[in-house]
């Protein structure tokens, strides 16, 4: 059985591949990357490295040839770009007669009002239309997404947010990677949807947990969206990124990421990494 992971040199993709290599023979694993030179380490370990670009469908035909189980990792970019790229990838998977597609989606993708949701809704629908057995890994939010806020707190700044009392199911990227690897390499996942969410926390609760890890009190500055945007600009966030950050805060405030689920435990065979332990890992990564 031949498995393939797209985007395998990215942050999530690389973690998934490393997890798979603990239990899957390298000869059973292939990766699809835009720049094969970045995957030389994987090639050296016996993983088949294929060149595949979501913007060049002909490269995907070669990349997906002979693949039984495909993990499609969502691409980066604006919504229109991502929808086009994902549609290309799904069509190529269908042409290649792939037998199973796992896709890294978004919490509650079918009904979510999160501004990122249209990408995942469209991709899930495209996969369903192929008739190929699928598994949608609806990832809530990476704890690593809060890295800049953590660095700010460690430098003496408050935790700044306009998300109000909205809750988020933060979890480590490694937990999401382990779950994806379990689905790709496992059995019994045909036509499944997994809502992958850590324990739901408010911004205050996350900041409090961070304070315990750092051994200091972390003050939380709740502001409106305009003030949040101004603060982000003042700390050097590029102008084109700010609207996206504000939109995320707005969507969290609306409760779009408040999805409770124990699907992580089902897939991992263990609880999701506790928030204090997860924060310690990230803080240690910053300081070491």
Domain boundary among 99, 124, 139: 139
Please report which residue ranges of 52-115 form alpha helices under DSSP H.
Answer: 57-64, 79-95
Residue ranges making up the domain that contains 230? 142-171+198-259+273-288
Please report which residue ranges of the chain form alpha helices under DSSP H.
Answer: 11-20, 40-44, 57-64, 79-95, 117-130, 147-154, 173-185, 203-214, 225-234, 242-253, 263-268, 275-287
Distance, CA of 107 to CA of 114 (rounded, Å): 9
**Number of domains observed in the structure of the chain:** 2
Tens of pLDDT, residue by residue over 2-28, are 999 999 999 999 999 999 999 999 999
pLDDT in tens, the chain (288 residues): 999 999 999 999 999 999 999 999 999 999 999 999 999 999 999 999 999 999 999 999 999 999 999 999 999 989 999 999 999 999 999 999 999 999 999 999 999 999 999 999 999 999 999 999 999 999 999 999 999 999 999 999 999 999 999 999 999 999 999 999 999 999 999 999 999 999 999 999 999 999 999 999 999 999 999 999 999 999 888 999 999 999 999 999 999 999 999 999 999 999 999 999 999 999 999 887
Residue 190 domain flag? no
Residue 266 domain flag? no
Buried b (16+ CB within 10 A) or exposed e, 65-86: bebebbbbbbbeeeeeebbebb
Instruction: Say if residue 104 is in the same domain as residue 224.
Output: no
Instruction: Say if residue 75 is in the same domain as residue 152.
Output: no
Domain boundary among 97, 120, 139: 139
Integer CA distances (angstroms), 35 to 29, 46, 72, 126, in order? 17, 17, 17, 26
Instruction: Say if residue 287 is in the same domain as residue 146.
Output: yes
CATH of the domain at 151: 3.90.25.10
The whole-model pTM stands at 0.96
Instruction: Say if residue 17 is in the same domain as residue 101.
Output: yes
Distance, CA of 147 to CA of 249 (rounded, Å): 15
Instruction: Say if residue 166 is in the same domain as residue 130.
Output: no
Residue 93 domain flag? yes
Instruction: Say if residue 284 is in the same domain as residue 146.
Output: yes
């Amino acid at each position: 059985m031949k498995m393939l992971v797209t985007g395998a040199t990215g942050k999530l993709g690389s973690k998934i591949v490393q997890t798979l290599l603990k239990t899957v023979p390298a000869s059973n694993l292939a990766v699809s990357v835009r720049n094969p030179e970045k995957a030389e380490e994987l090639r050296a370990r016996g993983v088949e490295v294929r060149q595949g670009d979501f913007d060049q469908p002909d490269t995907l035909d070669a990349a997906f040839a002979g693949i039984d189980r495909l993990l499609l990792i969502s691409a980066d970019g604006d919504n229109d770009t991502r929808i086009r790229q994902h549609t290309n990838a799904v069509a190529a998977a269908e042409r290649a007669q792939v037998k199973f597609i796992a896709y890294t989606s978004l919490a509650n993708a079918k009904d979510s009002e999160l501004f990122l949701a249209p990408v995942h809704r469209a991709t899930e629908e495209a996969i369903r239309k192929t008739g190929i057995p699928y598994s949608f890994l609806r990832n809530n939010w990476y704890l690593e997404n809060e890295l800049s806020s953590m660095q700010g707190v460690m430098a003496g700044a408050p935790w700044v947010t306009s998300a109000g009392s909205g809750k988020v199911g933060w979890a480590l990227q490694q937990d999401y990677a382990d779950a994806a690897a379990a689905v790709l390499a496992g059995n019994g996942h045909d036509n499944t949807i997994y809502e992958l969410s850590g324990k739901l926390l408010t911004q205050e609760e996350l900041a409090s947990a961070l304070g315990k890890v750092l051994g200091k009190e972390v003050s939380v500055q709740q502001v409106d969206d305009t003030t949040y945007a101004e603060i982000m600009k003042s700390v050097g966030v590029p102008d084109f990124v700010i609207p996206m950050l504000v939109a995320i805060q707005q969507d969290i405030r609306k409760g779009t990421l408040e999805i409770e689920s124990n699907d992580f435990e089902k897939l991992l065979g263990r609880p999701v990494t506790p928030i204090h332990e997860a924060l310690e890992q990230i803080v240690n990564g910053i300081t070491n």
